[in-house]
């Protein structure tokens, strides 16, 4: 998701990435420009304050713009959701919107550790696998 800057590179809208293996440890493959959660834990006062986008400008690269009405129509999600495969960008945008408008959370898995499965990780995290 990007904020007010349509390029998605607005430094006022931080992306914090957290490792699940080990939980809260340093990320092995951080996304470009992401703040490593282990650094955020070490320096919470240094975290930039978020600057929210207006709902009418919500965008996700590779998707059409979502209007305020589109966002308002998304049902809130009040549980932990795990995404272990790459869904279509619009599906991911709507899933994230549901988590943000509800009390839910979203776990995005970039790679599974050897011997691990999405079902086992979902059970460990107390999450439901998003379909």
The span from the first CA to the last CA of the chain, in angstroms, equals 20
> How many residues does this entry show for the chain?
131
* The model's pTM: 0.55
* Eight-state DSSP code of residue 106: E
> How far is the C-alpha of 75 from the C-alpha of 20, rounded, in Å?
27
Q: How confident is the model at residue 3 (pLDDT cuts 50, 70, 90)?
A: very low
Q: What is the mean pLDDT of residues 46-58?
A: 57
Q: What is the pLDDT of residues 58-91, one digit of tens each?
A: 555 566 677 777 878 899 999 999 998 888 888 8
Number of helical (H) and strand (E) elements in the chain, helices listed first: 4, 5
> How far is the C-alpha of 61 from the C-alpha of 16, rounded, in Å?
18
């Amino acid at each position: 998701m990007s904020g007010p800057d349509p390029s998605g590179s607005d430094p006022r809208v931080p992306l914090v990435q957290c490792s699940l293996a080990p939980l809260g440890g340093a990320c092995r493959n951080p996304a470009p420009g992401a703040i490593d959660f282990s650094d955020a834990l070490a320096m919470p006062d240094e975290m930039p304050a978020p600057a929210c986008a207006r709902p009418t400008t919500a965008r996700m690269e590779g998707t059409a713009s979502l209007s305020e009405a589109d966002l308002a129509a998304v049902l809130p999600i009040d549980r932990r959701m795990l995404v272990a495969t790459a869904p279509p960008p619009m599906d991911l945008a709507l899933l994230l919107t549901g988590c943000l408008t509800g009390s839910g959370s979203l776990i995005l898995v970039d790679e599974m550790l050897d011997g691990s499965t999405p079902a086992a990780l979902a059970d460990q995290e107390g999450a439901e696998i998003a379909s």
